[in-house]
Amino acid sequence: MEFELWWLLGIPVFFGLGWVAARVDIRQLLSESRTLPRGYYKGLNFLLNDQADKAVDAFIEIVRLDPESADMHFALGHLFRRRGETERAIRVHQNLLARPDLPQEQKEHAQYELGMDYLKAGLLDRAEETFNTLLNGQYSAQARRALLEIFQREKEWPRAIESAIGLQESGAGSRQKEIAQFYCELAQDALVHMHPDQALALLDKSLQADRVNVRATLLTGDAQLAQGDLEGALLTWRRVEQISVPHVALVAQRLMDGYTKVGRPQEGVNLLKSYLEQASSIDLVEVVYKAVLELDGVDAAKQLVSNELRRTPTLLGLDKFLEARLMDAPANVMPELSMVKNLVHSYTQKLARYQCSHCGFKARQFYWQCPGCSKWETYPPRRTEELNVMN
User: Residue-wise pLDDT tens for the chain (391 aa)?
Assistant: 444 544 444 445 445 545 444 444 444 434 444 444 554 445 545 544 555 555 555 555 544 444 456 677 777 778 778 888 888 888 888 888 888 887 888 889 989 999 999 999 989 999 999 999 998 888 988 999 999 999 999 999 999 999 999 888 888 788 999 999 999 999 999 999 999 999 999 999 999 999 999 999 999 999 999 999 999 999 999 999 999 989 999 999 999 999 999 999 999 999 999 998 888 788 888 888 889 888 988 888 888 888 877 777 767 677 777 777 767 777 776 777 777 777 766 666 666 788 899 998 998 889 999 999 999 999 988 887 665 555 5
For residue 245, which of 275, 212, 205, 201 has the smallest C-alpha distance? 275
Q: Which residues are annotated as a binding site for Fe cation?
A: 356, 359, 370, 373
Q: Which domain holds residue 328?
A: 245-351
Overall number of domains in the chain = 3
Does 125 reside within a domain? Answer: no
Inside any domain, residue 136: no
**Are 268 and 320 within one domain?**
yes
Domain boundary among 217, 243, 269: 243
Annotated binding site: 356, 359, 370, 373
> Same domain for 209 and 305?
no
CA distance 121 to 116: 8
In a domain, 42, yes or no: no
Query: Which of 243, 260, 293 corresponds to the end of one domain?
Result: 243
Which of 219, 243, 267 is at the close of a domain?
Answer: 243
In whole angstroms, what is the distance from residue 150 CA to residue 144 CA?
10
**Rounded CA Rg of the chain:** 31
Same domain for 195 and 232? yes
Model-level pTM greater than 0.95? no
Q: Please report, for residues 5, 86, 227, 266, 379, the alpha-carbon distance to residue 382 in angstroms, rounded to integers and kept in the order given.
A: 75, 39, 31, 25, 8
